[in-house]
Structure 1
Amino acid sequence: MKAISRCVSGLLLAGLAQTASASELGYDAYIDSPKRIKCMYGYVTAKTGNFGAAKQIFEDCIARWNDVYSMIWLAQMYESGSGVPVDMDKAAALIELGANQSDEASYVSLARYHWGTALAEGRGVKKDRKAARMWLRRASEGGQTEADEYLLRMEQSPN
């Protein structure tokens, strides 16, 4: 019975491979998709190393839906130089944009955490510990426990 099951599975997979093109199976297919789920695929696309497609997906998600998740991940690509030149100014601008979204926006508290840390460390912006504390408190109020930990470290460090 197991042999029959493996044979049927193999035939199904072979049939799928014959009917699906490579572009349908790759993340490039999501670049022009009008479906918002593609914003999540942008993350997976970046994690598999297809940074060009990930950048296009994130940029489209930001343009179409002002998607905070995409702002965060595209900012991280610019911070790390993953598939794009390192650009701390662009990274900071994206994170600030995400942090300034309404409280109801998905991932806004995470963007506020990242914006607070950027301000605290002067990553792409002028260091401003007072503003950093305010943003980290807002992130904490939104459920980001990392913000509490960061605030505690800031209290213990004079710089």
Structure 2
Amino acid sequence: MKTTFLAMLCVTVLPLSSPIQAESTSELSYENYIHSDKRIKCLYGYAADKTGDHAAAIAIFEDCIKRWEDVYSMIWLAQIYESGVGVEKNLAYSTALMKRGAYTQDAAGYASIARYHYGVALYEGIGTTQDRTEAVKWLRQAASEQVIEAEQYLKSKGID
């Protein structure tokens, strides 16, 4: 009885599309961060992607890359294109983004992660021509920068 009364109260008192509701939803939309000039928005791209707003995530990441050559955004955008969730899968573009990140120097250390992923792509021939010599170079560099996954990958392939 209590649940039924509460449900009826909500239906009769709160309209489904009130101006207040629509306005507050749009203010909280990830789309509002797409054109922001605040770098913190790059983190919102991750949240947008994880909550299913892939279009906003892609737009945020693309803008972060354009404005700041943001390696964090390159990595996440590459993963979106590698998985094909919310966008058509594009392994060549995904690998190109990882390569771009691998050549970037960033204070946060994301370039090391990009080096690892780019090395794996080269080693496996994912989205690029397979080049194991070049792959080992990138993987060793990532391992020297404390990317444990790079060290483990090299060991799994029997490479010291």
Unpaired stretches in structure 2, ≥5 consecutive residues: 1-19
Contact conserved, 1:77 with 1:84, CA < 8 A, in 2?
yes
Shift, 1:82, TM fit: 1.4
Contact conserved, 2:71 with 2:106, CA < 8 A, in 1?
no
Unpaired stretches in structure 1, ≥5 consecutive residues: 1-16
Structure 2 residue 144 is the aligned partner of structure 1 residue 138: no
The C-alpha deviation readout for 1:1-35, integer Å capped at 9, x for no partner, is xxxxxxxxxxxxxxxx77x6212222121111110
Moved over 6 A (4+): none
Structure 2 residue 124 is the aligned partner of structure 1 residue 121: yes
Contact conserved, 2:121 with 2:127, CA < 8 A, in 1?
yes
CA RMSD of aligned residues (A): 1.8
Contact conserved, 2:80 with 2:86, CA < 8 A, in 1?
yes
Taking every aligned residue pair, what percent have the same amino acid on both sides? 54
Structure 1 equivalent of residue 82 of structure 2: 79
Question: Please, what TM-score do these two structures have when normalized by structure 1?
Answer: 0.82
Q: How many matched pairs?
A: 140
Shift, 1:106, TM fit: 3.7
Question: Please, what TM-score do these two structures have when normalized by structure 2?
Answer: 0.82
Larger C-alpha radius of gyration, 1 or 2?
2
Residues 103 and 31 of structure 1, relative CA distance in 2, 3 Å threshold: closer
Shift, 1:134, TM fit: 0.7
Shift, 1:141, TM fit: 1.6
Cα distance in 2 for partners of 1:135, 1:103 equals 16
